Amino acid sequence: MPDPKTDLLSLPPDEFEAALGDHFAARNQPAYRIEQVRKWVFDECVSNVGEMTNLPVAEREALSAAFSFVKPIADTVSRSKDGTVKHLWKLADGELVESVLIPTTDRLTLCISSQAGCAMGCTFCATGWAGFQRQLTSGEIVAQYRASRRWALEHDYGRISNIVYMGMGEPLSNRRALHSSLTILNEGYGVGARRITVSTVGVVPGILELAGRKEQFRLAVSLHAPESELRSQLIPLENRHPLEELMDALVRFDRAGGRRITFEYTMIRGINDAPRLASGLADLASSVDAFVNLIPFNPIPYQDWKASRGERIEEFRSVLEARGISVAVRVPRGRDIDAACGQLRATRVDANAAKGCKNASGPLDDPDMREGLGASANSGEDPTEANLT
């Protein structure tokens, strides 16, 4: 049963202040109570209303009665020898979602999920094997950041500097929650728009919506093939939004200015690593000044593909560099903890299934889901840093 209370974490800052203003006015409380609560939520990231110690007990009780406070529970915390940390979060209804902290020498990147599971069916991704459960609310997306931020500070990882929507699910198939959460993270928690990247396999209406925002959020496109026929074998969405349409949308996104596009290209031996494809990839990247990440394929259950050989990956990189394309080859991160998106959750889902639990896939009643059907759950990687494969 849905919680009748208003979820504080799902409210963008303007709605947050309006809701609290009405609440405190009805209780004849001074207006500065709004700022007190704002600091506790956005600056301190408290996990519940009870921690707001400069509010009278009666006001804390009244807040708890009027507002809910999403608090995911850490079901599993896995820490890699390279410092990568994966959290498997249990939500209020028992659903499981993943987030990953990726430390480097100069930044701490958080990869977050936008859906519980994925309905998109990409052939190279572990998330889809466990099926789609439901959309996440904006509060559940934001709660991953808040909980991860607390964990990082408590364990001497420092402050989160970058956020990537590259965890479970296709963000642009959950656009209502995506856009709200982007505003909350940017305006409420002060994460710069250029430090937030949204990943997609090509939900064209969503790309155009994102291009229309005033903030310069970045975009990562799971490309994986520069030819439509081959791409359709990897990504079902290609049949709905073919490559030509996708590239037209990316040109418009690029023309909006200041918004870097990254192409994610998973290198799969004998599938999408033929030498002739490197030139096609360069053509597409140059048309929108995209940065290219070449990603060695990460083995997943039920799929016997292998990563491209090192010399073939280097051949791709050489072709791209010769064309003036900025390119990087990912260094695998977190393999010892199944850090690639969906792997840990899939393990738990399989375990539950063995105990007789049903893995629901449910009707796709959300219009965003229908519009983006066929889009990929993304690979769980940071386009600027680590490869979680």
Which active-site residues does the annotation give?
98, 341
Comparing C-alpha atoms, which of 115, 207, 125 is closest to residue 170?
115
- Write the single-letter amino acid at 376: S
Q: What's the 3-state SS for the chain?
A: CCCCCEEHHHCCHHHHHHHHHHHHHHCCCCCHHHHHHHHHHHHCCCCCHHHCCCCCHHHHHHHHHHEECCCCEEEEEEECCCCCEEEEEECCCCCEEEEEEEECCCCEEEECCCEEECCCCCCCCCHHHHCEEEECCHHHHHHHHHHHHHHHHHCCCCCCCEEEECCCCCHHHCHHHHHHHHHHHHHHCCCCHHHEEEEECCCHHHHHHHHCCCCCCEEEEECCCCCHHHHHHHCHHHHCCCHHHHHHHHHHHHHCCCCCEEEEEEEECCCCCCHHHHHHHHHHHHHCCCEEEEEECCCCCCCCCCECCHHHHHHHHHHHHHCCCCEEECCECCHHHCCCCCHHHHHHHHHHHHCCCCCCCCCCCCHHHHHHCCCCCCCCCCCCCCECC
CA distances 279 to 155, 193, 275, Å, are 45, 32, 8
Cα 267 from chain centroid (whole Å) = 21
**β pairing state of 162-165 and 196-200:** parallel
CB of 28 closer than 8 Å to CB of 56: no
Per the document, the length of the chain is: 389
- Count other Cβ atoms within 10 Å, centred on residue 331: 10
Joined together, the tokens standing for residue 174 give 């959950």
What is the token pair recorded at 262? 């990254």
